[in-house]
């Protein structure tokens, strides 16, 4: 096991360094740095166990056993949750007939959407073409490091690419997925739009959690999947989604 943790620690260190220049990958930087530290500590305690005697060896042995159990349980939880995430990454058949579609925010760069968000907006344009009566609500507030609200950037991008501005509304106060859906529902009620058939549009990796949030808001679980981007980003987003789901479960929202 010492060799395993040593190699894993080095791999995580390299991956963390690779993430540094790319801001969209900063979650990966935090994740791989943390995993590098944890595996490094395990490697250190295994060394102590194998090279010391007496009290230090006993403490190290106990720590290594506990660490191995925690690591295995964590891997099992990751595999289970990632399986659920992947199983939910598809469009529901009835979603394209929705009266209203909530397009969930996915990050902006200046006054432009990120690749992930552009993919969602492009799918929203396709939905508008297929369903001439659908009302679109673009969702997303302004982050601490952003000059614009996500909703305003999303709205401008869609209109500049041919969307009818009368069919695109902005929800500009939300800071997370729960607020996206709750605030979009309030906007529907304020404008008298039907919520009998509502769909949420987001990237595939995001849809399992989105379904659960919709159910908690009293809506039928109905989603539209957008492409998740390049493979490296998709992997990191799926890892981040694991922690987002765990956070919901721990908070009691699940």
- Considering the domain boundaries, does residue 239 fall inside one? no
- Considering the domain boundaries, does residue 166 fall inside one? yes
Mean pLDDT of 176-193: 94
| Of the candidate ranges 20-34, 79-93, 235-249, the one whose mean pLDDT is the lowest | 20-34
Domain membership of residue 143 as a residue range: 93-229
Q: Pull the structure tokens for residue 143.
A: 């982050």
Same domain, 76 and 101: no
Same domain, 66 and 123: no
pLDDT in tens, 127-173: 999 999 999 999 999 987 788 999 999 999 999 999 999 999 999 99
Q: How many C-beta neighbours within 10 Å does residue 5 have?
A: 23
CB 85 within 8 A of CB 208: yes
DSSP string, 177-222: HHHHHHHHHHHHHHHT---SSEEEEEEGGGHHHHHHHHHHTT----
Mean pLDDT of 216-221: 92
Same domain, 56 and 172: no
CATH number of the domain where residue 182 is located = 3.40.50.620
Residues of the chain by 3-state class (helix, strand, coil), percent to 5: 65, 10, 25
Residue-level pLDDT at 24:
65
Same domain, 48 and 111: no
Please count the structural domains in the chain.
Answer: 2
Same domain, 36 and 138: no
- Considering the domain boundaries, does residue 250 fall inside one? no
| Distance (Å, whole) CA 24 – CA 65 | 36
Query: Residue 13 above 90 pLDDT?
Result: yes
Q: Return the higher-pLDDT residue of 254 and 200.
A: 200
Same domain, 117 and 198: yes
């Amino acid at each position: 096991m010492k060799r395993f943790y040593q190699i894993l620690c080095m791999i995580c260190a390299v991956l963390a360094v690779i993430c540094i220049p790319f801001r969209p990958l900063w979650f990966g930087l935090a994740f791989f740095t943390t995993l590098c530290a944890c595996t490094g500590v395990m490697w250190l305690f295994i060394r102590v166990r194998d090279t010391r005697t007496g009290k230090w060896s006993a403490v190290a042995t106990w720590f290594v056993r506990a660490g191995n159990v925690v690591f295995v349980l964590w891997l099992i939880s990751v595999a289970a949750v990632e399986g659920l995430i992947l199983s939910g990454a598809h469009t529901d058949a009835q979603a394209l007939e929705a009266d209203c579609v909530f397009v969930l925010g996915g990050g902006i760069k200046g006054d432009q959407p990120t690749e992930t968000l552009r993919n969602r907006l492009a799918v929203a344009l396709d939905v508008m073409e297929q369903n001439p009566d659908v009302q679109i609500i673009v969702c997303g507030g302004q982050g601490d490091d952003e000059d614009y609200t996500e909703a305003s950037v999303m709205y401008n991008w869609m209109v500049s690419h041919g969307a009818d501005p009368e069919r695109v509304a902005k929800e500009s106060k939300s800071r997370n997925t729960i607020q996206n859906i709750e605030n979009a529902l309030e906007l529907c009620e304020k404008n008298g739009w039907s919520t009998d058939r509502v769909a949420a549009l987001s990237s595939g990796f995001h849809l399992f959690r989105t379904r659960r949030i919709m159910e908690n808001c009293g809506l039928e679980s109905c989603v539209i999947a957008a492409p998740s981007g390049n493979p490296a980003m998709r992997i990191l987003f799926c890892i981040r989604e694991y922690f987002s789901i765990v956070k919901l479960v721990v908070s009691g929202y699940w």
